[in-house]
Structure 1
């Protein structure tokens, strides 16, 4: 039986980021990624399967809601902004250290805009703006109701708009091709003698031994062979199928967890006469019964160096956990211990379920009408429908027999922290570095406390374990350095 230090299951942005962090911290650690597809970053990380937004709380209105005192709560936006800054700092570090790591190939400065209509929503946006701009990370946000300004910010949106509208804008927003980012990190990882990647490999079983190590049975679909690997640590970062792999582990802490799968589609335009007029990401409010992750947005995307516009995502219910998955995925994930949480969530969120099922039957014309709420002069012949991948939301045990639907991400650990599984979706890839540093902190706590490890992490991420928003000097110094390296104008 072959032995290794760390096995990472799934070849997406999370596993690749974790592998790169570990190799930077201690190159003697043996890290192996197993991916069941023909190459990495083909599911949620693939460019077309995500919004490509560097989620920083600048434009995502679902990160700021009214509290019980009718005040806008900005805690989530601030938290996600800080976590995204960690990613930017790490990518900046890689760009300075490796000549082959080219930020321009995966990150582009694209303003982030929030867009609302009607007096009630404009009042909310103004309160949000006033609350956010009192904090350091959001101090440069702009607000406007002026038609001339809005036309400069988002020409397509303002082209034929007759409603009462308002926008906020942050120039330091970003568009990110996470697929390209993953490929670049993999190229650097491939030069390490203690890193290996195996595609066409699917984990079939895993069990923990008395010595706390793990035995993993892996099937090679290319040569039809089964291998056995022993590892000290397992990370499950397999997107929608993470729940199924977590269940294979049989750890106590996975009891009660289940998933609520949501399908997505985009409307995409590649016509240059249109794409050249739109140079921002414009986020609106989700519908009254829509899930937060389906908040409509009209985005400039840069994929493989080419501009395109994407509108959506259009959410609907699905039984599949992955684009390459099976319609039996949801059924196969049902266990005795998660039946009640699943029933509780589906009953309590019946309106959401009905909404998603109805959306499954919506026509191309319906989707074009939704686009025209953003871009009134949109022409059907210029836009094509494409899959936006799957987003498997978390159902977690709640109050003994009940369940709770979560739209964020969460890591589930074994009691001894030798296994960690990432569940959920947004903000996902944008906060991958922060999330994976948390995994390292908990699963390698014996080593992370050493001065050597801490110094290496602080070199990669200067704001490690610090709140930049409360330290103006460090914030300004770090932001200038990071954004300059990544090619932003500040």
Structure 2
């Protein structure tokens, strides 16, 4: 059997692999890149429009990114970081639109105001303090705050109609928030890559074997599920961007850096509105506060979406426990991921996260009426018959070993890279796809350290992302210049 030689193998056909493939192609068109995907088309798992929130996560409305401190203050560092990282994605997408690589922006991104909404004295006080802290920073200077019934009726009519007038409520808004169809975005990037020389897409081809040779190169075997054909690949660099499937593949790789990592799978469901006259009355993403014990992916929100060009209105997500790492995965995924190197961290996390476990079990046993009752906290007039339940995607939260051998459950994304730079994997969930460009720059810097230092790659990277090497958190003038371009190019202004 002939061995297919490649410079880069991307495992997984989602937004992360597509973004890395696109950036590497722009940096060096001569690289021979192979993308392998186990399903029969790309962007069908976590990246699909129905399998994620579609929020361009920028910290504008997601209250879990600004936790309260013990003295009643609000910490904003995480929100600043995520906002700056999302700006990196916007810059890359703007460049690709300007070059004609990506189509009309509205095919994958649309202006959708980002709003936070809370009720009750305690949460109103929190939101006001959050607004004061964030709006003082240039990244959030356009944020608005209101408790005015007139403003709220304009901002979110579905939410305030027939609400108890004695209930104290408050909201914040950023007008230039976005809804992103990451499925459409990814398919557009991969479609363009397929027109380029030295790029091959292998569909219906899961990875069955991965091992590093003595010379540092990686041997990979994939089997086409439709034809049964086996293909051997050999490459100098592997990226594992297979969503929930990345952890098992990382474990198979045998790199030292994978030791101690485990995964905690969480499923999701949406309530989807089936009445067009209701859908058209809401045109924003409205986030509330998460229930105690809920994972970040379960922060409740009433969501305007544009999926495959069609408007939709979703509420949720409602989390649940699962043993699958992928929506189309195996019920044995979780138990199969338990290894001697991560057993202690996983047991430690299971003992210290009983609130999360109880929450997930409670979510599983909710009735349709229970879920609609939760929706009525946002949309008081919601009727059960107008909403249907739809499965969302799977997420695998990171379990990470800490000093002493115990474990910690991480809510976020993390790059795990081999010390020799020949392999990298992306683990975790939110903010995920929104910060794909920044995450893949991290991969490039860690795994192509000599090339990224060259004048050629430095120049090209600054064309792709003009703020590269500078801080949008610290440089207000740079942020102003960058944001003016991206809002205009992507039609978000």
Q: TM-score, normalised by structure 1?
A: 0.98
After superposition, where does 1:273-292 map in structure 2 within 5 Å? 273-292=277-296
After superposition, where does 1:392-407 map in structure 2 within 5 Å? 392-407=396-411
1:215 aligns with 2:208: no
Superposition RMSD in Å: 1.0
- Per-residue deviation, 1:424: 0.3
Map Cα deviations across residues 313-340 of structure 1 (whole Å, 9 max, x no partner): 0011111111101111111111111111
Residue 33 of structure 1: aligned partner? 35
Gaps of 5+ in 2: none
Distance 2:382 2:220 in 1: 52
SS at match of 1:101: coil
Residue 363 of structure 2: aligned partner? 359
1:330 aligns with 2:354: no
- Per-residue deviation, 1:472: 2.7
Residue 131 of structure 2: aligned partner? 129
- Per-residue deviation, 1:99: 6.1
Map Cα deviations across residues 208-231 of structure 1 (whole Å, 9 max, x no partner): 111111111211112112221110
Distance 1:353 1:454 in 2: 46
- Please say which of residues 29-38 and 214-223 is displaced more in the overlay: 214-223
Alignment CA distance shift 1:311-1:23 (3 Å): same
Residue 248 of structure 2: aligned partner? 244
Residue 446 of structure 2: aligned partner? 442
SS at match of 1:429: helix
1:370 aligns with 2:374: yes
- Per-residue deviation, 1:100: 5.4
After superposition, where does 1:8-157 map in structure 2 within 5 Å? 8-98=10-100, 101-157=103-159
Map Cα deviations across residues 189-217 of structure 1 (whole Å, 9 max, x no partner): 11111111100111111111111111112
Map Cα deviations across residues 426-471 of structure 1 (whole Å, 9 max, x no partner): 0000000010011011100010000110110101101112112332
Preserved contact between residue 271 and residue 308 of structure 1 (Cα < 8 Å)? no
Distance 2:385 2:365 in 1: 21
- Per-residue deviation, 1:69: 4.2
Distance 1:183 1:217 in 2: 25
Map Cα deviations across residues 375-422 of structure 1 (whole Å, 9 max, x no partner): 000011111100111111000111232010001000111121210010
- Please say which of residues 208-217 and 279-288 is displaced more in the overlay: 208-217
- Per-residue deviation, 1:473: 2.4
Distance 2:64 2:13 in 1: 29
Map Cα deviations across residues 339-373 of structure 1 (whole Å, 9 max, x no partner): 11111000000121121112111111110000001
- Per-residue deviation, 1:270: 3.5
- Please say which of residues 447-456 and 397-406 is displaced more in the overlay: 397-406
Preserved contact between residue 101 and residue 185 of structure 1 (Cα < 8 Å)? no
Map Cα deviations across residues 161-196 of structure 1 (whole Å, 9 max, x no partner): 112110000001000100000111112111111111
- Per-residue deviation, 1:66: 1.9
Distance 1:376 1:107 in 2: 29
1:468 aligns with 2:472: yes
Q: 2:386 aligns with which of 382, 386, 389?
A: 382
Q: TM-score, normalised by structure 2?
A: 0.98
Preserved contact between residue 177 and residue 492 of structure 2 (Cα < 8 Å)? no
SS at match of 2:460: helix
- Per-residue deviation, 1:236: 0.1
Preserved contact between residue 269 and residue 390 of structure 2 (Cα < 8 Å)? yes
Distance 2:169 2:392 in 1: 28
1:315 aligns with 2:319: yes
Q: 1:261 aligns with which of 265, 281, 288?
A: 265
Map Cα deviations across residues 128-167 of structure 1 (whole Å, 9 max, x no partner): 0000011111001000011111111000000111121100
Distance 1:91 1:99 in 2: 9
- Please say which of residues 129-138 and 352-361 is displaced more in the overlay: 352-361
Residue 303 of structure 2: aligned partner? 299
Preserved contact between residue 93 and residue 102 of structure 2 (Cα < 8 Å)? no
Q: 1:228 aligns with which of 221, 225, 232?
A: 232
Residue 349 of structure 1: aligned partner? 353
Distance 1:268 1:403 in 2: 36
Distance 1:119 1:276 in 2: 31
SS at match of 1:73: coil
Map Cα deviations across residues 82-137 of structure 1 (whole Å, 9 max, x no partner): 00000000000001001652211010000000011111111110010000011111
Distance 2:276 2:448 in 1: 49
Distance 2:78 2:270 in 1: 26
SS at match of 2:360: helix
Q: How many residues align?
A: 489
